[in-house]
Amino acid sequence: MKPTTPYRPLDITIPFPELTAYARTATRLHPRRGTPTAADSSVGGPLLWPTDEAWPVCGEAHGRVRGVRTERARRYERMVEEAWARPRPADAEGLPYTDAERVELDAMSSSGHQPDRHDGTPLPLLAVAQFYARDVPDLAGFAPPGTDLLQVLWCPFTGHDDEGAFSDMGPSTRLRWRRAADVTEPLARQPEPAIVERTHYLPRPCVLFPEQVVDHPFGDCLPRELDERIQAWEDALAERAGAAAPRYQDDLSLAPGWKIGGWDSWHRTDLVRVFCRECGTEMRVLLTMDAYDSGGSWGPYPPVDRPTGITVGRDGEYRAFTCPSNPTRPHRMSIQ
């Protein structure tokens, strides 16, 4: 069943027709566990990569030298999933692991979930996602001329001193635009790092169910006067309808979850405007990666917990911004 965004509790452009001028489409990606191939748009699937192009590596001597072997991280994920699937009494505390699993899990948690040492050798970047323009309508508005495929990779360690990065709190992310038809000899087996800093920097293979929606700006991104009128309207509505009243920020403005395009939320830090370091133009959010594909009234039906396994920051969103005047200029990342 294709995940679908529920109807908004009300259409905010009826009380505030002036919001129409700020509307942007976004493509919600709705990743769900699956077995994507390089020919598919995916999170955590293989990338369509030409055999004759070197796979990117990170050569930084990472400040933190401990992590978890990729193999062990996958084993950990599998243990958790299998335990979830087992029957357990209603009053049971925690998941029903076997004794052998418990020994493995204790070994991981006693090391702060970083049981393995990274020897400091260059790491092949991790394939995070790829999006074909044919699947994701909002990609075309960002794609450099002649390209129709966006590939996202990252180094599975934090603490990089990236030129152009907006935040050093997440993995160092690379974006690669290409024309799919140029890849005549695709790489059969892609490299991957032998170690990651955290299990939740390792995406689980997901196929996508793109769905186009309309976003309106986060309140702080609107002219102050309009934002204040919306807040007054919201307060009046809450007085009449109580706690069930929809709220602009949560229910009526912008979609949470993985998406291409649309508007960016600043619920954790308040608004920080993101400018291109090369030309000074205000950048636009291209990609939002999210731990969840839910968020109150925006939660698609059927519901899902954490489809991709990826969490960056506390539990938040990791966004890539690009320069609207030249999308090939270095992007910047931001965490919420």
Report the C-alpha gap between 252 and 20 in whole angstroms: 13
- Measured at the alpha carbon of residue 216, what is the angle toward residues 210 and 222, in degrees to the nearest 5? 150
Minimal distance, residue 105 CB to Zn ion, in Å: 27
Interface with Zn ion, residue 58, by CB under 5 A: yes
Residue number with CB closer to Zn ion (156 or 257)? 156
Count of residues that bind Zn ion according to CB under 5 A = 10
**Min separation Cβ 329 and Zn ion, Å:** 5
Both tokens assigned to 11: 């259409």
Mask: binding to Zn ion, 248-277, rule CB under 5 A, as x and -? ----------------------------x-
CA–CA distance from 139 to each of 9, 77, 298 (Å)? 28, 31, 21
- By beta-carbon proximity to Zn ion, the closer residue of 132 and 154 is 154
Cα distance between residue 289 and residue 257, in whole Å = 7
Angstrom distance (rounded) from CA 39 to CA 66: 34
Instruction: Decide if residue 155 touches Zn ion (CB under 5 A).
Output: yes
Do 42 and 310 meet the contact criterion of CB atoms below 8 Å apart? no
| Six token digits for residue 162 | 């990236």
- Contact between 262 and 286 (Cβ < 8 Å): no
Q: Which is nearer to Zn ion, 71 or 278 (CB)?
A: 278
Give the residue among 323, 333, 287, 284 at the shortest CA–CA distance from 165.
333
Site for Zn ion in 270-329 (CB under 5 A): 276, 278-279, 281, 323, 329
Q: Which is nearer to Zn ion, 60 or 168 (CB)?
A: 60
Residue 61 is a binding residue for Zn ion (CB under 5 A): no
- Closest contact distance (angstroms) between CB of 269 and Zn ion is 23
Q: Is residue 43 at the binding interface for Zn ion, with CB under 5 A as the rule? A: no
Contact residues: Zn ion, CB under 5 A: 58, 60, 155, 157, 276, 278-279, 281, 323, 329
